[in-house]
């Protein structure tokens, strides 16, 4: 929450070129993201020009982080739309595995190439077999492919896809249910340790667990963040003020009962 000095009538919105320069992508890319519904401008002037606000800048940053990781735009849309740190964490975990694998792969390739150059420059005869040595045992064998590839990396992703379209929709709806149940609990005045609220937490934890297996500590951490981070708090509090706090308090109790 930074207070921007109110310089006259500086509208605090960026046109497409400014945002492009700031973010390092081209304006074409921004138009593309608009076209596919990944990032729409805050509003469009009556002359058709796109104007972006702070939220859009943040969303773009989020998008770029994921894009850096090689995530396809379709999946990026999923993630930023879900707008939940649990989903983010799950995805990041996957990608961390992929990143270290990629790093190692490039390290091996670089080593092979370096030694290839070396032996070439010294005039050694380089058999094709030798040149291939560095490559053979890391990509063309299905065994290795599983090690660095789809298997470990995209596990939660696979789970998600296995749900199918309806399953995915049900899962998103399931979160809606949690949020609305929390709102109802607040309006009725249930306490965090009441059976009703604890049941909601059970459902919330199950929802989380599809992507990711939280520990007692990290589950507390996540729910704490729902309170701390305005972006996520909004998701809960827009149904009923205090919902995020209620979830956190209830999750504290739930975690102690079920996760430790």
Partner DNA sequence: GTTGCGCTTGACGCCGCGTCAACTTCTACG
Partner DNA sequence: CGTAGAAGTTGACGCGGCGTCAAGCGCAAC
Among DNA, its own copies, none, what does residue 4 contact (CB within 5–8 Å per kind)?
A: none
Taking CB under 7 A as the binding criterion, the range among 20-28, 114-122, 150-158, 223-231 that sits at the site for DNA is 20-28
- Residue 67 sits in the site that holds DNA (CB under 7 A): yes
What part of residues 72-111 is at the interface with DNA (CB under 7 A)?
72-74
Rounded CA separation 152/238 (Å): 37
Among its own copies, DNA, none, what does residue 65 contact (CB within 5–8 Å per kind)?
A: its own copies
Nearer to DNA, 106 or 114 (CB): 106
Nearer to its own copies, 199 or 233 (CB): 233
Strands lying side by side in the sheet with 14-15: 14-15, 50-52, 43-44
- Residue 230 sits in the site that holds DNA (CB under 7 A): no
- Residue 47 sits in the site that holds DNA (CB under 7 A): yes
Taking CB under 7 A as the binding criterion, the range among 27-35, 117-125, 138-146, 214-222 that sits at the site for DNA is 27-35
Q: Least distance to its own copies from the beta carbon of 108, Å?
A: 9
Q: Which residue has the tokens 């963040």?
A: 225
Q: Least distance to its own copies from the beta carbon of 120, Å?
A: 5
Measured in whole angstroms, how far is the alpha carbon of residue 218 from the centre of its chain? 17
Size of the site for DNA (CB under 7 A): 20
* DSSP output for 109-153: HHHHHHHHHHHHHTT----HHHHHHHHHHHHSSHHHHHHHSHHHH
Q: Provide the token pair at 186.
A: 């607040």
- Residue 24 sits in the site that holds DNA (CB under 7 A): no
Rounded CA separation 237/67 (Å): 30
Q: Least distance to its own copies from the beta carbon of 99, Å?
A: 4
Q: Provide the token pair at 133.
A: 């040595």
Give the chain's largest Cα–Cα span. Answer: 83
Rounded CA separation 214/132 (Å): 43
Nearer to DNA, 4 or 74 (CB): 74
Check: CB of residue 101 under 8 Å from CB of residue 138. no
Q: What residue ranges bind its own copies (CB under 8 A)?
A: 23-24, 58, 61-62, 64-65, 68-69, 85, 88-89, 92-93, 95-96, 99-100, 102-103, 106-107, 109-110, 113-114, 116-117, 120-126, 128, 131-132, 135, 139-141, 217-218, 220-225, 228-229
Relative to beta strand 14-15, strand 43-44 is: unpaired
Crossing angle of helices 195-209 and 243-258, in 10° steps, is 80
Rounded CA separation 206/193 (Å): 18
Q: Which one among 43, 49, 124, 187 touches DNA, defined by CB under 7 A?
A: 49
Rounded CA separation 101/107 (Å): 10
- Residue 27 sits in the site that holds DNA (CB under 7 A): yes
Rounded CA separation 80/173 (Å): 16
- Residue 32 sits in the site that holds DNA (CB under 7 A): yes
Q: Using CB under 7 A, list all residues that contact DNA.
A: 15-18, 25-29, 31-32, 45, 47-50, 67, 72-74
């Amino acid at each position: 929450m930074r207070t921007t000095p109110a310089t006259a009538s500086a509208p605090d919105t960026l046109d497409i070129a400014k945002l492009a320069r700031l973010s390092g992508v081209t304006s074409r890319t921004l138009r593309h993201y608009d076209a596919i519904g990944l990032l729409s401008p805050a509003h469009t002037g009556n002359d058709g020009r796109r104007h972006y606000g702070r939220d859009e800048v943040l969303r773009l940053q989020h998008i770029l982080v994921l894009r850096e990781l090689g995530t396809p735009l379709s999946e990026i849309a999923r993630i930023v739309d879900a707008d939940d740190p649990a989903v983010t964490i799950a995805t990041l975990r996957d990608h961390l595995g992929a990143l270290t694998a990629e790093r190692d792969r490039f390290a091996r390739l670089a080593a092979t190439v370096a030694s290839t150059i070396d032996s070439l420059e010294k005039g050694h005869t380089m058999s094709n077999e030798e040149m291939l040595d560095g490559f053979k045992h890391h990509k063309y064998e299905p065994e290795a492919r599983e090690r660095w590839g789809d298997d470990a990396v995209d596990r939660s992703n696979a789970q998600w896809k296995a749900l199918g379209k309806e399953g995915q929709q049900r899962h998103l709806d399931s979160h809606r249910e949690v949020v609305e149940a929390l709102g109802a609990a607040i309006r009725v005045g249930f306490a965090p340790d009441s059976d009703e609220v604890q049941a909601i937490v059970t459902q919330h934890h199950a929802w989380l667990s599809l992507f990711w297996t939280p520990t007692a500590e990290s589950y507390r951490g996540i729910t704490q963040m729902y309170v701390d981070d305005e972006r996520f708090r909004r998701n809960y509090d827009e149904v009923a003020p205090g919902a995020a706090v209620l979830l956190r308090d209830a999750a504290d109790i739930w975690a102690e009962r079920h996760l430790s």
